[in-house]
Amino acid sequence: MSSENTLLTETPQPTPPPAPKSNIRSFIVGVLIVALLATWGYIIYDKSNERQLIEQKDNKNAALTGEKDSLQNLFNDATTRYDNLQTADTKKDSTITSKDKEIADKKAKIQSLLRKDNATKEELVQAKTLIASLNQDIDGYKTQIETLKNANTQLTVEKQQVTEERDIVQKSFDSAKDVVKQKENIIDVGSTLHASNFNILGIDAKKNGKEKQTTNAKKVNKLRISFDLDENLITQSGSKTLYIAITGPDGKTISVQELGSGTFTSRDSQEVAFTQKLDVNYTQAKRQTISFDWKQNTNFSIGAYKIEVYNNGFKIGEGVTHLTKGGLFG
């Protein structure tokens, strides 16, 4: 039994035959081929994904560029509308001026966004929102401009009406002024005094104070002139100026500046020489006599002495006296 057991235990097992080398090589080649195919597959897949990403990016960029161009056109249109409104012939009030500043600020912000080369979607959305807001502002601006233009037109019409009414009133006023002036001129002319009843005497005044009337030129040392100022219902009471012109035998007005002689302008714009100026206190509607003496430093000459009285630029009366050569013993 033991011999049998020993014999059985020591019996060697059969060794399997070795695998052929060609099978191993085929397996390795297969694995390599699979790995290579997998690598190329991954590369192809990765390139395909990359190409899709590039295409998506290009499409996105193209879309953003198109949207940016569209927004730029919208902005240009809005700017053109605003510029046209800016040229409107309208006086701007403080509200319009404030709106101008607000629009200018908004335009600057939109331009800043659209000028970016790589503007993002969010920035373009912001620009779009601002452009919409800008267009609303321009619509409101246009309404205000039209309102102001209508107001200006109304003011122009009203101004024209007022001007026409003023011209009518001015014409009526000028006509009334002309009438008043004419009446004033009539009253002024009508208020001119009138002189009458001239009495001109040659006076020989003695050293003892006695006086003697004479026509002897050699003895006359002064002329006593008197006349009446006739009653006038128009002339107001008060001081009136009379100019007395005494013309001597030589035909010249006697003028002595030291005694107050001078000239005045007549109603026909002529310079008239006068011998003496008198200021008299006239009472309306009453006749009164004026009397004064003219005494000169030189002797009186033989001949006619004419006395002319002027008032209000008119000659209102005149009188003449003659001084003669003395008698036998003259």
Tell me how many degrees the CA angle 296-246-263 measures, rounded to the nearest 5. 100
Strands (E), 127-261: 195-205, 211-213, 222-229, 238-247
Are 130 and 263 part of one and the same domain? no
Report the domain count for the chain.
2
d(CA 82, CA 71): 16
Are 50 and 174 part of one and the same domain? yes
Give the pLDDT confidence score for residue 260 in this predicted structure: 94
Are 175 and 304 part of one and the same domain? no
Are 202 and 97 part of one and the same domain? no
Residue 268's pLDDT band (boundaries 50, 70, 90)?
Answer: very high
Are 264 and 216 within 8 A, CB to CB?
no
DSSP assignment letter at 112: H
Are 241 and 310 part of one and the same domain? yes
Are 164 and 294 part of one and the same domain? no
* Helix orientation angle between 121-190 and 94-114, rounded to the nearest 10 degrees: 160
d(CA 116, CA 68): 10
Q: Is residue 6 included in any domain, yes or no? A: no
Q: Between β-strands 238-247 and 222-229, what pairing exists: parallel, antiparallel or unpaired?
A: unpaired
Are 226 and 310 part of one and the same domain? yes
- Provide the edge-to-edge strand list for the sheet that holds 314-323: 276-282, 238-247, 303-311, 314-323
Which residues are paired to 295 by β-bridges? none
DSSP assignment letter at 92: -
The CATH code of the domain that includes 315 is 2.60.40.10
Is residue 188 helix, strand or coil? helix
Residue with tokens 């908004």: 106
Q: Which of 190, 225, 259 is the last residue of a domain?
A: 190
> What does the pLDDT look like over 222-247, one tens digit per residue?
999 999 999 999 999 999 999 999 99
d(CA 218, CA 68): 124
d(CA 162, CA 155): 10
Are 231 and 303 part of one and the same domain? yes
Q: Is residue 18 included in any domain, yes or no? A: no
Q: Between β-strands 276-282 and 238-247, what pairing exists: parallel, antiparallel or unpaired?
A: antiparallel
Q: Is residue 4 included in any domain, yes or no? A: no
Are 219 and 317 part of one and the same domain? yes
In which domain, by residue range, is 247 found? 196-323
> What does the pLDDT look like over 13-65, one tens digit per residue?
566 665 566 778 787 888 888 888 888 777 887 777 777 777 766 666 676 77
Are 170 and 82 part of one and the same domain? yes
Are 185 and 305 within 8 A, CB to CB?
no
Are 220 and 183 part of one and the same domain? no
Region 208-213: mean pLDDT is: 94
Q: Is residue 23 included in any domain, yes or no? A: no
Give the pLDDT confidence score for residue 12 in this predicted structure: 58
Burial environment of residue 278 by CB neighbours within 10 A (0 to 12, 13 to 18, 19 or more): middle
Q: Is residue 43 included in any domain, yes or no? A: yes
Q: Is residue 283 included in any domain, yes or no? A: yes
Region 210-219: mean pLDDT is: 96
Q: Is residue 19 included in any domain, yes or no? A: no
**pLDDT greater at residue 154 or residue 288:** 288
330 pLDDT more than 70: no
Tell me how many degrees the CA angle 156-158-164 measures, rounded to the nearest 5. 100
Q: Is residue 20 included in any domain, yes or no? A: no
Q: Which of 143, 161, 190 is the last residue of a domain?
A: 190
Q: Which of 167, 190, 213 is the last residue of a domain?
A: 190
Give me the chain's average pLDDT, please: 85
Are 214 and 114 part of one and the same domain? no
Specify the range with the lowest mean pLDDT, choosing from 68-82, 83-97, 175-189, 293-307: 83-97
